[in-house]
A and B are shown apart, each in its own frame.
Chain A
Amino acid sequence: MGIVSPGFSGRRRPGGEKLPPGQYLVTDFPVLSAGPTPRVDTGSWELGVVTETGERHSWDWAAFRALPSEEFTVDLHCVTKWSKLGTRWRGVSLDTLLEQADTSAEYVLARSYGGYTTNLPLEDLLDGRAWIAFEFEGEPLDPEHGGPARLLVPHLYLWKSAKWVQRIDLMNSDEPGFWESLGYHNYGDPWREQRYWGD
């Protein structure tokens, strides 16, 4: 730890709310990215689900928006330590999206426009715990926050909520994604503070 800087306390707001260990509250919405913001217009946008046998389902924007969607309010926890509470979204539940998929796969690799990937157990996408979100606070999701549509899995650290989601691969074996292959925890539960390998 460095020397204490007299009079410095940082930008954090005091808790009050129950936050996962090591997190602080923000009121803005920081943008973190591993590359330039992909610009995908809804005319050419496509979302695919590919099962472990290679069976493929895909939706263009019209077909995707025709699926039943729901509004939901969740807390976000980023591994870089900021948390944003009570965020309001609209999206299609992964339960809906995966309804037709005939699968016995245990793992998922989510792929984004621009090349980003992240992996999770399939069961973490089900039972109302994950969505493909396309609206934030009542407005179409901004490209810098992952629009036209992003994966949202709020019970895990936010790097698992792949922005600009393009494809969900259902897999028999686990394949570490972009950050999971470089030191970030394979699962990423904020409440057990699983930030890095070995945590």
Chain B
Amino acid sequence: MPEPLDGNMLAGPLSDVFTVDISTAVGQCASCGTSAPMGETRVYADAPGLVARCVACGEVVLRLVRSDGRAWLDLRGTRCLQLTLPAE
């Protein structure tokens, strides 16, 4: 049964792409405008790729496909992503 996981699990796969932990980044959904930590998205991880959906409206906020040596990331569903950077 494709029951969604929490966006907390995005941190592992997205660590191949980002150097900051994406699960604490705050994303604004491009469909409904709701802002929430990526850790709160509903993630469908069984698919041929990873699909994160907005907890408020259910639309796709992030998609990730990884093969050996390549990754494809679609953030069109996220209008803006606010990341916490380490103190300089």
B-contacting residues of A (Cβ < 8 Å)? Answer: 30-37, 78-80, 115, 144, 159, 179, 181-184, 195-196
Assuming the contacts A31-B1, A182-B72, asked whether A195 and B67 have C-beta atoms less than 8 A apart, the reply is yes
B48 pairs with A80, CB closer than 8 A: yes
Whether the Cβ atoms of B53 and A183 lie closer than 8 Å is: no
Q: Can you identify 30 A-B contacts, CB atoms within 8 angstroms?
A: A31-B1, A31-B2, A31-B46, A32-B2, A32-B46, A32-B47, A32-B48, A33-B2, A34-B44, A34-B47, A34-B49, A35-B51, A35-B53, A35-B58, A35-B60, A36-B4, A36-B58, A37-B1, A37-B2, A78-B48, A79-B48, A159-B48, A179-B48, A179-B65, A182-B63, A182-B65, A183-B72, A184-B65, A196-B65, A196-B67
| CA gap between A179 and B74 in the complex, in Å | 11
**Contacting residues, chain B, for A183 (C-beta < 8 A):** 49, 65, 67, 70-72
| Total A-B Cβ pairs within 8 A | 57
Chain B 40-72 interface residues, beta-carbon cutoff 8 Å to A = 44, 46-49, 51, 53, 58, 60, 63, 65, 67, 70-72
CB-based contact B2/A36 at 8 Å: yes
Which of B2, B4, B48 gathers most chain A CB within 10 Å?
Answer: B48
Question: What A residues does B2 contact at CB under 8 A?
Answer: 31-33, 35-37, 144
State A80–B67 Cα separation when bound (angstroms): 10
A2 to chain B, nearest CB (A): 12
A177 to chain B, nearest CB (A): 12
